Structure 1
């Protein structure tokens, strides 16, 4: 756990990590899930120095509750998340692309 986290965030991290392990995730995966969740919550509450737009404007992990996993409805990353990845890879014309077009351009 990073030193920048408050006691509350450390407790939250431990709770999420233990819950993920109880659901069958490996220790490494549980740590990743917990740290991503805590960091997103920190970004949304203004506790971090930098935060991506998708972290701040998107639903919190607790509200989402696995909404983007499973078999029914839209799956995978949001359009904004795909756009950010396309920007990092330097894909031209990304700002006018739809979610489906961004997925194709990224090879998904």
Structure 2
């Protein structure tokens, strides 16, 4: 068990996610990291942790989100994700851009 504060339910959830990732070909270390992050995010959403990020509380659940926000998923990245990347890269005029314009400005990735 990676976290001593996890309940038995969270430990089962962690093991299930980790096993699924390993079955899909992810390396052990990466599977453990993704599973732990997912469990910790769910704990934060449910009020089981001392601190929680704004995205943990306001975003849809990681279980429901699945691959919707992956770079190649059907929905792609969210407007907020594109805007933050544009801000980090110093793209001018990003405030007035739409999601499609931000995507073009970032090189369509």
Aligned pair in 2 of structure 1 residues 72, 13: CA closer, same or farther (>3 Å)? closer
After superposing on structure 2, the runs of 4+ consecutive aligned residues of structure 1 that deviate more than 4 Å are 79-87, 96-99
Question: Shift of the alpha carbon at 1:20?
Answer: 0.3
Segments of structure 1 that go 5 or more residues without pairing to the other structure are: none
Q: TM-score, normalised to structure 1's length?
A: 0.71
Query: Contact 1:54/1:81 (CA < 8 Å) preserved in 2?
Result: no
Match of 1:29 in 2: 30
1:69-95 Cα deviation digits (max 9, x unpaired): 26354424x4445677899x7x8x9xx
Is 2:65 aligned against 1:56?
A: no
What is the CA RMSD across the aligned residues, in angstroms? Answer: 3.0
How many matched pairs?
A: 101
Segments of structure 2 that go 5 or more residues without pairing to the other structure are: none
Query: Contact 2:67/2:73 (CA < 8 Å) preserved in 1?
Result: no
Query: Contact 1:13/1:34 (CA < 8 Å) preserved in 2?
Result: yes
Is 2:9 aligned against 1:8?
A: yes
Query: Contact 2:14/2:36 (CA < 8 Å) preserved in 1?
Result: yes
Q: TM-score, normalised to structure 2's length?
A: 0.70
